[in-house]
Structure 1
C-alpha cells in the first residue's frame, strides 16, 4: 500500500499530517492459468486498486494482467519518463517458471506487487497515461499504446470509465475480500479477441452521453470472476 501525504500509522492509531490524506492501495492476487490451446498456457493476476488520490478518476478497480504486460509497462514508463526516474525492477523472468509451482507463483506475485507499489510512489509516473490504462482498463497492449497516443476514437478517461471494474466500496470491503478470497459477480472490459476461454459478449449498453458506443461495442466483454 502506498500513502501519499498520508497519516502516520502507529499500532492502529493515525496521526494526521497537515496535508490532506491521499492513499493509493494496490494488491496483486488471484493467479489463474489461461490456455490458448491444449499446448500453450500462461498465467495472469488480478490487480486491485483502491484510492482517494486526485490522480485517479476511478477510485476502485480490478483488472487482470500477465507478466509480459508488466514488462511492457516498465518499458513504456522508462521511455516516457525520459530516464528522469529510475524504475524498480520486475521479478526476473525465470526460464524454468512452472505454472504448477506454487512457490514460484507466490514469489512472482509478491515481486509484481512491490513493483507497482514503488511505481505508485512517483508523482511523475502517476501522470503517465499508460500506467492508468494498465491499472484500470483491460485493453490489450496494442490498444493501450494507441489510446495513450491519441489514435483511438475514445480517450484514456473514457477507456478507464468503460473498462474499469468497480467491485469494492471501501478498503475494509477489499480487505474482507482478500481474507476470504471469495469473488463476487463482476464484469470486465476485455479485448475484442480474447485469449482465454469462458468469455461472453457483454450486451450492456453504455450511456450515450459518454460517447462510448464505439468502445463498448469493440471493447466490452465480461467474464465470471469465480476461482478456477
Structure 2
C-alpha cells in the first residue's frame, strides 16, 4: 500500500511481511515481522529501511505515541490480543500482520506523529524498547539519527549494549521469551513463505533496491 504524508505531499510506503517464529528453547517462542519502508520524505533519515518487530513492540509504540501526542489525536487501534493466538495458525498470523500494517499506514498519515522520535526508532533502528526510550530522551551516547543510520551494523554499540538491545518486554500473547538471542541458536521458521510479496516499484526504485527489500531477512 502507498501512503502519502499529506502535510508534505511526499510518498511514505510501508509493508509488514515475512512473519517468522523465533525460538530460544522448546517452550519459549514468539513471532516477529519485517517492516519495509520506502519514502522520499524529508521526515526520514533513511529512504529505504528494513527492521523486524514483534507484537509487544507495536503495543509499546501505540502507547508511547498516544502519550507523546498529549491526546491531541486518537490513534488507530492495533489488532486485538487473542488469548487463543497460536504460532501455528497461519490465518491468525496473516490477520494480525494485516492489522499491524493498517495501523502503521494510518500512523504515517499524521504529520504530528511523524515528528515523534520513537516512531522513527521503531521503524528504522534495531533498538529494543528500553533503548528506544533512552535514545529518544537523549540519554544515550548516540543520537536518534545515528541509531537509524547504523541499523544493522553490529559494531555500532558496545558488546554490553548489543546484549541489552536485544532484551524486550514479554507483554504479547503466546510469547514467553525474555530476550532475542544475539545470534539465535534455533533456526528461524518462515510462515506463509508463499505469501505474495509487495512490488516495490515506487519512486523510480532500482531493481536491486526492490529485490533487497522483497527478500526475507536473515
TM-score by length of 1: 0.69
Deviations 1:53-74 (A, max 9, x none): 1111210000000000000000
Kindly report which structure 2 residues correspond to 1:179-194, keeping only aligned pairs within 5 A, or say none: 192-193=162-163, 194=166
2:129 alignment partner, one of 141, 144, 149:
141
For the pair 1:130 / 2:131, whether they are aligned, the reply is no
* Secondary structure of residue in 2 paired with 1:47: strand
1:81 alignment partner, one of 48, 69, 77:
69
User: May I ask how many residue pairs the two structures share in their alignment?
Assistant: 170
Superposed structure 1 runs of 4+ greater than 2 Å apart: 187-191, 196-200, 225-228
- TM-align CA RMSD: 2.6
| Aligned CA distance change for structure 1 residues 79 and 5 (closer, same or farther; 3 Å) | closer
* Secondary structure of residue in 1 paired with 2:15: strand
Q: Match for residue 60 of structure 1?
A: 48
Quick check: which has more Rg, 1 or 2? 1
Kindly report which structure 2 residues correspond to 1:159-174, keeping only aligned pairs within 5 A, or say none: 159-163=147-151
| Aligned CA distance change for structure 1 residues 125 and 55 (closer, same or farther; 3 Å) | same
Kindly report which structure 2 residues correspond to 1:196-215, keeping only aligned pairs within 5 A, or say none: 196=181, 198=183
| Aligned CA distance change for structure 1 residues 39 and 189 (closer, same or farther; 3 Å) | farther
Deviations 1:75-94 (A, max 9, x none): 00000000001000000000
Q: Match for residue 3 of structure 2?
A: 2
* Secondary structure of residue in 1 paired with 2:162: coil
* Secondary structure of residue in 1 paired with 2:104: helix
Q: Which runs of 5+ in 2 are unaligned?
A: 167-179, 186-214
| Aligned CA distance change for structure 1 residues 3 and 189 (closer, same or farther; 3 Å) | farther
